[in-house]
Amino acid sequence: MTERLNIVIIGAGLVGSALAKFFFEENHHVTVIDRNPQMLESIKDSLDVLTIKGNGASPGVLRDAALDKASLLLAVTDFDEINMLACMVAQSLGVKYKIARIRDKGYYSGNDNKLFEEKLGIDKIINPENAVVKEIIQILKFPGATEVASFADERILEAGFHVNNPEFNDKTIAEIGKNILPRDVVLAAIHRKGKTIIPRGNNHLEKDDLVYLVAKPRSMKKIAYKISGLKEGSHRYIIYGGSRVGIELAMELEKLDAQVTLIEPDEDVCKNLANFLNDTLIIQGEGTDMELLKDEGITQAQAFISTTDSDELNIVASLLARHLGVKNNISLIRRNDYLDLLPAIGITTVSTHTATAGTIIKYARRSQVQTIFKNKEGQSEVFEVIVPENCNLIGKTLMEIDFPSNAIITTIVNNEGVTIAKGDTQIYANDRLIIFTLPEAIPEIEDILNQTKDSEGFTKRIFPLFFNKK
């Protein structure tokens, strides 16, 4: 069994509940604090966690939550100041790891990180907008990708694509691997009609299959155009909505020398946008105004990203853009209910709370398991693990290992570089394996990796939370 930790989460909003769910499912003791009893109620209904009503920054409330026995504090309310204050209190109570969600960049831009670490005791600052913008940028880099995750310091990427190229239709994986895919791209999984399979050589690909590929960034870019049937077009991006995500995205795209057009209906918001954006064309208007979109050249746009504060508006605008011929549509979505619905109609979704939760989990996990990533569609997961020194696998080739059929070792990263796994690849100690798997296979993988020469189990290593803080 995994070692159980006491985790306190302050803030029961979207981010807080996503985190609570994640850590609860990993068998940790989770306590959630919020001022709003209704929010707590809805968490209590679905998860077996402790909920406390109160101000998350007040030392009394935090003591009630047994914060002094906790090893991890996640302060993720909507208020930066409360989050910072909570971390300060936690610092004085001796909590080892504190993560705070801080939205206002004014607090930490520049060289004030030391102040945060030493005085406020914040180990990691999570900025939700930042996290989601990073995700959007990754997706934009690989056109047609439904999602992109990076491993081994961004040397290896995993991405999902909808097959939209007749070249791939009705061919077996063996044929595709031989003739179409470059040698250093692994087709890790196929998601079709709600089911995910790890393909074997004799499986077929069909149109509109969602395939998950693992490759180096450069190969991924090449294959992205091929598989999604998109052409490398202009560098024009249209953003709808001057929310925090919209601004930050425009700023990031400006840095990449892209032509950015930002549409925002509100005049005061436009004024604020003009303050931050220098090369972006700001248009005051509705993103659902078809004439306006045409005038601003949406038909030549590389991507349309809707980032308003309303899910419904984002969806409608994205549908409109799709109707006008934009292939790459990204919508910022808050409600979990919509997240599964939209990819089916050709709209890529991103959400602040899953991106934030993802970043926090990524951070919380760094040790032997470097990264873990849950794909949005289906239940598949990708994780990165380091082969322990005394593991039984060492010295064997991949062919010799009896690996479960619903999991696949995709890549091996070591000092010599990144190797795309083939049957004759050998495993050495301290190699990093990037494994693509369905959840059913996880216990079996743990068993295989656990066959060590001494008694210490791998499970303890695979899910340790901050065993070594660097």
Partner 1 sequence: MNLKIVGYVLGHLLIFMGLLDISCIPFSLYFHDNSLQALIFSFMITIVCGGLLIFTCKCDDEIGIKEGFGIVTFGWVAAAAFGGLPYMFCNMQFSFTEAFFETMSGLTTTGATVLTNIEVEQPAILFYRSLTHWIGGLGIIVLSLAILPTLGVGGMQLFRAEVPGPTHDKLTPRVADTAKILWKVYIILTFIQIFLLMLGGLGFYDSICHTFATLATGGFSTKNASILHFNSAYVDYVLLFFMFLAGVNFTIHYKLIFNRDFSALKDPEFLFFLTITVLSILFILANVYFSGIYDSLSKALQYVSFTVVSIVTTTGFATADYEAWPVFSQFILLILMFIGGSAGSTGGGMKCIRIMLILQVIRAEFHRLVHPRAFIEIKINNKIIPKEVVRAVISFFCLYICLFVFFTGVICLLRVDLITSIATVAATLGNIGPGLNLIGPTDNYAHLPFLAKWICSFCMLLGRLELVTVLILFSPEIWKK
- Distance from C-alpha of 372 to C-alpha of 361, rounded to nearest angstrom: 8
- Cβ closest to partner 1, residue 16 vs residue 242: 242
Q: What is the DSSP string of 396-443?
A: -BGGGS---TTEEEEEEEETTEEEE--TTPBP-TTPEEEEEE-GGGHH
Q: How far is the CB of 251 from partner 1 (least distance, A)?
A: 12
- Cβ closest to partner 1, residue 205 vs residue 320: 320
Give the burial class of 148: count Cβ atoms within 10 A of its Cβ; 0-12 exposed, 13-18 middle, 19 or more buried.
buried
- Cβ closest to partner 1, residue 272 vs residue 452: 272
Beta strands 407-414 and 210-215: pairing type?
A: unpaired
E strands, 227-380, are 236-240, 259-264, 281-284, 303-306, 329-332, 348-350, 371-374
Q: How far is the CB of 340 from partner 1 (least distance, A)?
A: 36
Instruction: Identify the bridge partners of residue 274 per DSSP, sorted by sequence position.
Output: none
- Cβ closest to partner 1, residue 138 vs residue 259: 259
Quote the Cα angle for 210-212-216, to 5°.
140
Q: At what angle do helices 244-255 and 128-141 cross, to 10 degrees?
A: 50
CA-based nearest residue to 241, from 306, 296, 289, 331 = 306
- Cβ closest to partner 1, residue 271 vs residue 422: 271
Q: How far is the CB of 299 from partner 1 (least distance, A)?
A: 16
Could you tell me what percentage of the chain is helix, strand and coil, using 3-state DSSP and rounding each to the nearest 5?
A: 35, 25, 40
Q: How far is the CB of 273 from partner 1 (least distance, A)?
A: 8
Q: How far is the CB of 284 from partner 1 (least distance, A)?
A: 4
- Cβ closest to partner 1, residue 93 vs residue 281: 281
- Cβ closest to partner 1, residue 49 vs residue 263: 263
- Cβ closest to partner 1, residue 227 vs residue 283: 283
Q: How far is the CB of 81 from partner 1 (least distance, A)?
A: 28
Long-range contacts of 408-411 (CB under 8 A, 24+ apart): 408/186, 408/188, 408/189, 408/198, 408/435, 408/436, 408/437, 409/433, 409/434, 409/435, 410/158, 410/186, 410/188, 410/214, 410/382, 410/434, 410/435, 410/436, 411/151, 411/152, 411/156, 411/186, 411/214
Structure tokens at 193: 């009609």
Q: How far is the CB of 268 from partner 1 (least distance, A)?
A: 11
Give residues in contact with partner 1 (CB under 8 A). Answer: 264, 267, 270-271, 273-275, 278, 281-285, 292, 295-296
- Give me the amino acid identity at 410: T
Q: How far is the CB of 281 from partner 1 (least distance, A)?
A: 6
Residue 37: Cβ within 10 Å count: 12
Q: Where are the alpha helices (DSSP H) in 180-296?
A: 217-228, 244-255, 267-276, 290-295
- Cβ closest to partner 1, residue 16 vs residue 287: 287
Q: Which residues contact 344 (CB under 8 A, 6 or more apart)?
A: none
Q: How far is the CB of 287 from partner 1 (least distance, A)?
A: 12
Cα–chain center distance at 184: 23
- Cβ closest to partner 1, residue 7 vs residue 298: 298
- Cβ closest to partner 1, residue 267 vs residue 424: 267
Q: How far is the CB of 267 from partner 1 (least distance, A)?
A: 8
Collapse the DSSP code of 333 into the 3-class scheme (helix H, G, I; strand E, B; otherwise coil) and give the result.
coil
Q: How far is the CB of 467 from partner 1 (least distance, A)?
A: 44
